[in-house]
Amino acid sequence: MDTDELRQLIVQKREILARETFSRRAFNRCENMSDEMKNRYVEYLIERLENTELDNRAMKLVLEDLTKELSRSNQMLEKLNELQSLLEEERESRKSLERENIKLKEQLKSARKNRFGSKKQSVKKDASGSDDDPVDREKEKDGFDGTDESLDTRSVAESETQESHPSSPNPGDLCNRPETYRTMGVNGTPVRHLSDLSKVPGRILDRKMVKTFRLDICLVEEQFEMVQYVEKGRKPRWGYFPKEGHPQAVTRFDGTRITPGFLQAIAYEVYVKNVTFGLLHQWLGDMGMTVSENTLRNWLKKGRKYLDRMVVELKRIALEKDAVVNCDETWCKVRKYDRYKKCYMWVLVNKAERVVIFFYEDGSRGRDVLTNFLGDAELKALMSDGYNAYVFIGDGLKTHRYKDTDHQVCLAHVRAKFVKARMEGGDKRADVFLDNINRLFRFEREYDREMITDGERTRRRQGLPTMEAMINLRANLLQELKSEEEQKSCYMREALNYLHKFWNEAFTYIKDGRYPISNNLAERAVRPFTTKRKNSLHFGSDEGAEIAAVYHSIISTVKLQGRSAWDYLGKFFTGIFNGCRDFLSLTPQNIDLAVCQ
């Protein structure tokens, strides 16, 4: 407040006080006074006026000093507020650094444990109480007080409590032997080498066949004599006219100089056994063949031309209407121009149709790579982990195109978060979450053992036991979210936030018996590709990664259907060599019925 404002305020107060005073009749103060008294009274008034003026001037000076002090106080107050804000920022920064320090210590402890191993040799016991869980006999002994009610013999085998024991061929043998054995053998008709009985020096008592196994691995160069001939009225042509006992056609796969069986062997070595091109080239060189690594890649590229059309057919089957699919992604290193770049390979699995599709999409890290691959597919449900759900899918499934598609998040990933909080963070509050989640997984294993229908599985999933486990999880989740942050480890906070964020998606599986509870199917499907990545380290180009995606799609689909990848590759390339282009009949589930073998 400056001087003018203070003066104006004083004037306003004086006016208010003047209005409040009552009016009195004016009177002459100098009446009946002598001249000397009047002069003295005037001098008194003048002196008083001068004193009042001096007082006013002194008050002005004091007011100016107070104004300066007030401005300095305001400046100091502003500085104090700035210092308080800086102090709060420092406190927040310190708390953040302390949390980061605790997290790094926990990670260091986990890294040391994983590196040098744990010295503990005790077996962890699951306190779920199921019949399949191990029971601690020491607890049974401690709980037994001599009465029949306190007797607990669950740790004792059923045969030990029975009065009569079934006879066993060897009671002393405690090993777990299987009921049946698989004998060693090879598919196909064996080559028999019979003895010349006329050379036996004595009387024959018995005869038997002794099995031995021979591995024939050799490279043979086949040369087909081509004849150039001309017919009347036509241009000269080249042709092969086989003699009796020789192949009826030049057994060369289209665009190569190898047979379909040779292409089968190369594809199997590279994409099933994960042999690098360098080792494959060295192996062929040791066997006497002169060929370059680039030629081997080109041969696989020729086979990929036909496998591409097979993948299109498999994609149509996998993304049929109302399909339930799992998806996941993994990284790979690809050489682009003059450097290596981290790219991503995606996998999509349809369990019902037993189809696996790998797709590369130029290794894109874009958010729309998955939705672009799905296109206009009318899916029933899509399963992924929380990261892919948040980053790559987001609100894509909420659009009009996917408004009827249920989006699922893997419950196994939720469990892994709490396992990490318990093991690495040492937070015992994660046990209650693990108990309830493990209970849900035990229900699913029981359903699998009983081989119930999808409708019955849906009814049981929506039953009281499942609802009870979910209610316990929800109640504990809300309680822990309200607790103080300092009492929880960083891993526990991460697990709680993850479960809270994806609660609806994690428990969408109870809506339909066909829905999976976890994304383990896609995780297992992508594992062979990660093994290939560790062996070959990188791909030389985007084309190499795309070729790998095609071959892994075919091989993983064949494995998911329980078939032999070696047999399928041989039948497929043989069928292509024989002119078959009906790729629906060449799918793994139909290739045995194809007529062009």
102 or 342, which is more confident:
342
Tell me: the pLDDT tens digits for 276-309? 888 998 988 888 888 888 999 999 999 999 999 9
Choose the weakest-confidence range: 216-225, 253-262, 301-310. Answer: 216-225
Residue 138 in this model has a pLDDT that exceeds 60? no
Choose the weakest-confidence range: 320-324, 349-353, 397-401, 529-533. Answer: 397-401
Burial grade of 549 (CB within 10 A; 0-12, 13-18, 19 or more): buried
Give SS3 for 348.
Answer: strand
What's the pLDDT at 442? 94
Choose the weakest-confidence range: 172-181, 306-315, 456-465. Answer: 172-181
> What's the pLDDT band for 314 if we cut at 50, 70, 90?
very high
Domain boundaries, given as residue ranges, for the chain = 411-518
CA distance 304 to 298: 10
Residue type (1 letter), 421: A
What's the pLDDT at 53? 85
> What's the pLDDT band for 28 if we cut at 50, 70, 90?
low
DSSP H helical ranges for 218-292: 260-271, 277-286
Q: What average pLDDT does the segment 333-339 reach?
A: 85
Choose the weakest-confidence range: 100-104, 276-280, 504-508, 568-572. Answer: 100-104
Phi, psi of 173 (to 5 degrees): -85, 115
What's the pLDDT at 396? 52
Other beta carbons less than 10 A from residue 578's beta carbon: 13
pTM of the full predicted structure? Answer: 0.68
Other beta carbons less than 10 A from residue 103's beta carbon: 17
Residue 289 tokens read as: 């063949």
Per-position DSSP letters for 189-243, written without gaps between them = PPPP----GGG-SS------PPP---------------EEE--TTS--EEE--PP
Q: Give the best-scoring range by mean pLDDT among 126-130, 175-179, 305-309.
A: 305-309
DSSP class of residue 539? B
Q: What average pLDDT does the segment 133-143 reach?
A: 44
CB 389 within 8 A of CB 502: yes
> Residues 6 or more apart from 543 whose CB is under 8 A from it?
301
